[in-house]
């Protein structure tokens, strides 16, 4: 009985190893990405010297083609505002997802992703507080 259980276990381990290697290869085919943090500010109407007047913010960003005609994908930052997205090399427009409210507001950002490089992109959303 022990041999009967042992052979399927070995086959399962080999299959798992092969499949995980295929998944890693697919992920590693795109060796470039954007990363950064999304912040929201100002958070106080009166700015004081030396005081931080923004905070990390979780938001959804739409990644569009360079001409803004087609959506490539969208992502939502983590609760601490950080994000990491793998992208093929090229030029893109990052556009904050708009809500029915006028604020927070963010302008589209142009970004160029180069082969085998990590591009830092920090996105600031405006609260409208003045």
**The two structure tokens encoding residue 97:** 């997802």
pLDDT at 86: 97
Q: Is residue 22 pLDDT above 60, yes or no?
A: no
Assessment of whether the complete model's pTM goes beyond 0.85: no
């Amino acid at each position: 009985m022990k041999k009967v259980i042992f052979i399927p276990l070995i086959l399962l381990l080999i299959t798992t190893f092969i499949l995980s290697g295929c998944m890693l290869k697919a992920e590693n085919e795109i060796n470039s990405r954007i990363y950064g943090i999304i912040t929201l500010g100002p958070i106080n109407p009166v700015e004081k010297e030396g005081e931080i007047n923004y905070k990390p913010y979780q938001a959804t960003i739409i990644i569009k083609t360079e001409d803004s005609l087609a959506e490539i994908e969208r992502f939502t930052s983590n609760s601490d505002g950080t994000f990491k997205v793998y992208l093929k090399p090229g030029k893109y427009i990052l556009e904050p997802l708009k809500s029915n409210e006028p604020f927070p507001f963010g302008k589209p950002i142009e970004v160029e992703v180069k082969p085998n490089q990590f591009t830092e992109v920090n996105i600031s959303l405006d609260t409208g507080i003045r």
